[in-house]
Homo-oligomer: A and B are copies of this chain.
Amino acid sequence: FFEDIHKSDLYDFCKNIGINCSFVPRNILFSEANFLIALGGDGTIIEIAVDAAKYEIPIVGINVGTLGFLTQTDKGDYSAIKDVIDNNYGLTECMMLDISIISKDNQEICNFLALNDLIVTGNSYKMITTSTSVDGTNMGRYSADGLIVSTAIGSTAYSLSAGGAVMHPEVDAMIITPICPHTLKARSTVIPGNSTIEITQIPPFRTEAVARADGKIIYKFKDSSEKIRIKKSKYTTLLVKQEHTNFFDVLRNKLSD
């Protein structure tokens, strides 16, 4: 049961280790698969993470491009598949964000899951002002291009571009990072994993605010009394981890001399 595009390479590899493989539609995939094999980069894993999490299916990331934090093997290394079949692997449970849009009268309008991050920006590349609370305590207001709430996994993605710190995947925390803040004092802030974050757009309203989960638009604010509530999800992304792979190997490769 597989996902994605480098099908023939994978087909050949499987045949070589004595497995016949076939390709099925997405709806059947998630209901029947024992493992999902993501051929691609981190983006491929992000794309199937939500469905995989809901069906509790572990993901085997096969790197076919550049080295990533989620796909930590060398390009074109299919050995992880053999390890899975040989039952020789570990699982990393990655925290996901449970994101709710809350209406004026405190009703949940809709709910989303994200592996990397929740981003609030203006609709038309204009500055927005937001007020953020953590567990009911006012954390401050930022006038900025936007605000990122990221998991440890997501800390190496957009949050890092915006100046956030890198978080090891096993740190039980979220990181809040403003995007191009107007105030010079704003800094990236790490908060406990079990916190509940609430973000509201406040005046001046130069543009409507838009919320994105893992890069995809999930909601356009209609009313300033709406808010976004973010907390740790009960779902997790299960990543198959080979023994020799390591977060710091990738980090060292990307961050040191």
* A189, B165: Cβ atoms closer than 8 Å: yes
By beta carbon, the residue of chain B nearest A257 is B183
- Once A165-B187, A171-B191, A192-B170 are accepted as A-B contacts, the answer to whether A141 and B180 lie under 8 Å apart by CB is no
A166: interface (CB < 8 Å) = yes
* B187, A140: Cβ atoms closer than 8 Å: no
* A165, B171: Cβ atoms closer than 8 Å: no
* B165, A246: Cβ atoms closer than 8 Å: no
Contact pick for A165, options B142, B158, B188, CB 8 Å: B188
Bound Cα distance A175, B254 (Å): 18
Bound Cα distance A195, B171 (Å): 10
Closest Cβ–Cβ distance, residue A251 to chain B (whole Å): 7
A162: interface (CB < 8 Å) = yes
Binding site for B on A (CB under 8 A): 121, 125, 134, 137-145, 152, 155, 158, 160-168, 170-173, 175, 179-192, 195, 210, 212, 246, 248-249, 251-252, 254-257
Number of copies: 4
Closest Cβ–Cβ distance, residue A77 to chain B (whole Å): 19
* B165, A164: Cβ atoms closer than 8 Å: yes
**B residues within 8 A CB of A140?**
248, 251-252, 255-257
**B residues within 8 A CB of A145?**
145, 161, 179
Bound Cα distance A143, B182 (Å): 22
13 A–B contact pairs at CB < 8 A?
A134-B168, A137-B246, A139-B248, A145-B161, A152-B190, A163-B163, A167-B173, A168-B191, A168-B192, A171-B171, A171-B191, A184-B185, A184-B187
Q: Secondary structure at chain A's binding surface: helix, strand, loop or mixed?
A: mixed
- Once A137-B248, A173-B190 are accepted as A-B contacts, the answer to whether A182 and B167 lie under 8 Å apart by CB is no
**B residues within 8 A CB of A143?**
257
Bound Cα distance A22, B173 (Å): 45
- Once A192-B170, A192-B171 are accepted as A-B contacts, the answer to whether A186 and B248 lie under 8 Å apart by CB is no
**B residues within 8 A CB of A168?**
134, 189-192, 195
**B residues within 8 A CB of A183?**
256-257
Bound Cα distance A145, B195 (Å): 29
**B residues within 8 A CB of A137?**
246, 248-249
Bound Cα distance A111, B16 (Å): 55
